Amino acid sequence: MAETRIVIIGGSIAGLSAAEAARAQDPGCAITLLTEDPHLPYYRQRQCEVLEDRAAAQKLVIHPKEWYTIRGISLRLGQAVTGIDTQERAVALKDGSRLPYDRLVLATGSASVVPPIQGADLPGVETLWTMEDALRIESRLKDARRAIVIGGGLLGLEAAYAFHKRGIDNAILERLPRLMMRQLDERAAELFTRQVEKEGSEVTTGASVAEIYADRAGRAAGVRLADGSQHPADLVLISAGVRARTEILSGSGVAFDRFIQVDQRMRTNVPDVYAAGDCASLDGRWYGLWMVARGQGEAAGHNAAGGQRAYAAKTPPYMVNTMGTHIASAGLTQQEGMTSDEIARAYADVMENSEMFQYAKKLYLNEHLAGFILLGDTRAFSSLNKELAIGGTA
Ligand SMILES: Cc1cc2nc3c(=O)[nH]c(=O)nc-3n(C[C@H](O)[C@H](O)[C@H](O)COP(=O)(O)OP(=O)(O)OC[C@H]3O[C@@H](n4cnc5c(N)ncnc54)[C@H](O)[C@@H]3O)c2cc1C
């Protein structure tokens, strides 16, 4: 019998995990891993290390080239896919060639969103998603004196911290009323913001960006807010979220809205086409997290190679180490997002050391732990997460 041809589009953690799982499930199948990125798959979530030190790019490579050769995984770097033909079962590559498949895994991930801000296309305005982005931004840092980060999510915070470590003054402009709104309650966000400011970043919340203005040479020179205030900068990083890469799916018959819809076995609506990671949503849920992309990629690859694995969709805990502190949060942590019945039954156990910017909150529904926030000291994470898992609310 002819070997099964598995083609995977996307060479980051979802695609790589799919390739590894497919090989484990079927030692005889042919696996091709296509990625438009010219770099060997790397730990994308650690890219801010490259902003601190260019040499870190080497350390972020997940596996050397031989790893793929030994496993019979044909890794094709710098290969952009332009479309897929699910009738003929082939993918079209930018160089004009076509590659036939028996099973296809879509692991095309995310790209940075650039909101429609006037001046967002000026030279000196950056986004950060790929290694090329990180290397390009790093090469500009030696001449930069002040940076503005638009967006105070995790990526924006990590970038601002890297700028600070490089000795570059920086400010974070966050549209929402507080930092890390989904993960931290009001008090924890207040303490965390003080920690961020202690680490050298100015923070403006509720910031509505009106425009990125230019200098006489036509380069970005700063950000003006709707309240008229101006924030000068010679580097502006937009970190305003991501969108799923679905552009190759037009006309393919694969169902997608903002994301590709998959079931628990990571199957799309088209037979033998799977999707995993940041490009996919399962039961309407999307996380944008490394570990989720890895787990979904494993399930997709296993199933593409003939297995029957379901991905257990469970909201993962949130863990962050940045700005000289640690944050862990999981489950229900604040009234926002709770039903009125839950609010009535909720009880919070809070401990705080404001001088150390430390905060621990355990939220109970009846007698059961429903969620927690740990800021500063996260040593209780494992036991609380275990308690939460037993309670079944995570
Ligand atoms: C700076 C930074 C910090 C982060 N920090 C964290 C963190 O602390 N914790 C966390 O959980 N997550 C973090 N993330 C998010 C995490 O990296 C993503 O959730 C994860 O990378 C998603 O993996 P993926 O494989 O689904 O997609 P991606 O990593 O986006 O990879 C998609 C791949 O598909 C390829 N591709 C796309 N379209 C095509 C095409 N048409 N043809 C060929 N190839 C294509 C791309 O080149 C790429 O190789 C961070 C991300 C960044 C950028």
Ligand 1 centroid distance, CA of 175 (Å) = 24
288 C-alpha vs ligand 1 centroid, how far in Å? 8
CB 61 within 8 A of CB 42: yes
Tokens of 180: 């890390």
Measure the CA–CA gap between 16 and 5, rounded to whole angstroms: 16
Is the Cβ atom of 384 under 6 angstroms away from ligand 1? no
Domain with CATH 3.30.390.30 in the chain: 318-391
Q: Is 88 exposed, middle or buried (0-12, 13-18, 19+ CB in 10 A)?
A: exposed
pLDDT at 190: 96
- Per-residue DSSP letter, 86: T
| pLDDT given for residue 60 in this prediction | 98
Q: Whose CA is nearest to atom 38 of ligand 1?
A: 108
Ligand 1 closest atom vs CA 94:
42
**Amino acid occupying residue 276:** A
* Token couple for 263: 């079931």
Q: Are the beta carbons of 151 and 166 closer than 8 angstroms?
A: no
What is the per-residue pLDDT for 312?
85
**Residue 45 token pair:** 């979530």
pLDDT tens, 149-184?
999 999 999 999 999 999 999 999 999 999 998 889
Q: Does 298 sit in the ligand 1 pocket, CB within 6 Å?
A: no
Rounded CA-CA distance 177/379 in Å is: 29
Q: CATH classification of 5-111+242-304, choosing from 3.50.50.60, 3.40.50.720, 3.40.50.150, 3.70.10.10?
A: 3.50.50.60
Instruction: Say yes or no: CB of residue 11 within 6 Å of ligand 1.
Output: yes
pLDDT for res 218: 96
How far apart, in whole angstroms, are the C-alpha atoms of residue 247 and residue 92?
13
Q: Where are the alpha helices (DSSP H) in the chain?
A: 13-25, 48-52, 56-59, 65-70, 131-141, 154-165, 186-198, 290-304, 340-345, 381-391
C-beta of 275 in contact with ligand 1 (< 6 A): no
Ligand 1 neighbourhood includes 316 CB (under 6 angstroms): no
- Output the DSSP codes for 253-316: ---BSSSEEE-TT-B-SSTTEEE-GGGEEETTB----HHHHHHHHHHHHHHHTT--PPP---PP
- Whether 31 contacts 11, CB under 8 Å: no
| Ligand 1 atom closest to residue 134's alpha carbon, by position in its atom list | 1
Q: Ligand 1: does its nearest atom lie under 6 Å from the Cβ of 92? A: no
Among protein residues, the one whose CA lies closest to atom 53 of ligand 1: 129
What three-state secondary structure class fits 12? coil
Ligand 1 nearest atom to the CA of residue 130, by list position: 53
Domain 125-238 belongs to what topology?
A: FAD/NAD(P)-binding domain (3.50.50)
> Is the overall model pTM greater than 0.75, yes or no?
yes
For residue 10, the CA-to-ligand 1 centroid distance in Å is: 9
From first to last of its 394 residues, the chain has per-residue pLDDT tens of 679 999 999 999 999 999 999 999 999 999 999 999 999 999 999 999 999 999 999 999 999 999 999 999 999 999 999 999 999 999 999 999 999 999 999 999 999 999 999 999 999 999 999 999 999 999 999 999 999 999 999 999 999 999 999 999 999 999 999 999 888 999 999 999 999 999 999 999 999 999 999 999 999 999 999 999 999 999 999 999 999 999 999 999 999 999 999 999 999 999 999 999 999 999 888 999 999 999 999 999 999 999 999 998 777 889 999 999 999 999 888 877 777 877 778 889 999 998 889 999 999 988 899 999 999 999 999 999 999 877 654 4
Task: Quote the pLDDT of residue 389.
Answer: 78
User: Of the residues 8, 278, 287, 327, which should be mutated to test ligand 1's pocket, given the most ligand atoms within 8 Å of the CB?
Assistant: 278
Q: Are the C-beta atoms of residues 380 and 360 closer than 8 Å to each other? A: yes
Ligand 1 centre from 34 Cα, in Å?
14
Does the Cβ of 128 fall within 6 Å of ligand 1?
yes
What class is the 318-391 domain? alpha beta
Cβ-proximal residues to 196 (8 Å cutoff; 6+ apart), any chain? 157, 160, 172, 179, 203, 323
Cβ 287 under 6 angstroms from ligand 1: no
Shortest-distance Cα residue to atom 39 of ligand 1: 108
Name the packing angle between helices 13-25 and 290-304 (round to 10°): 30
Domain boundaries for CATH 3.50.50.60 within the chain: 5-111+242-304, 125-238
pLDDT of residue 1: 63
Cα 256 to Cα 268: distance, rounded to the nearest angstrom: 9
User: Which residues lie below 8 Å from residue 164, measured CB to CB, with a gap of 6+?
Assistant: 170, 199, 200, 201
What are the pLDDT digits (tens) for 282-326?
988 899 999 999 999 999 999 999 999 999 877 788 999 999 999
Q: Is 293 in the pocket of ligand 1 (CB under 6 A)?
A: yes
Q: How far is CA 78 from CA 35, 43, 212, in A?
A: 6, 17, 32
Is residue 7 within 8 A of residue 32, CB to CB? The reply is yes
**51-71 pLDDT, tens digit each:** 999 999 999 999 999 999 999
Residue corresponding to tokens 């949503």: 281
For residue 315, what pLDDT is reported? 76
- CA distance readout (Å), 80 to 111, 130, 251, 280, 339: 14, 14, 18, 19, 45
Binning the chain into helix, strand and coil, the percentages to the nearest 5 are 25, 30, 40
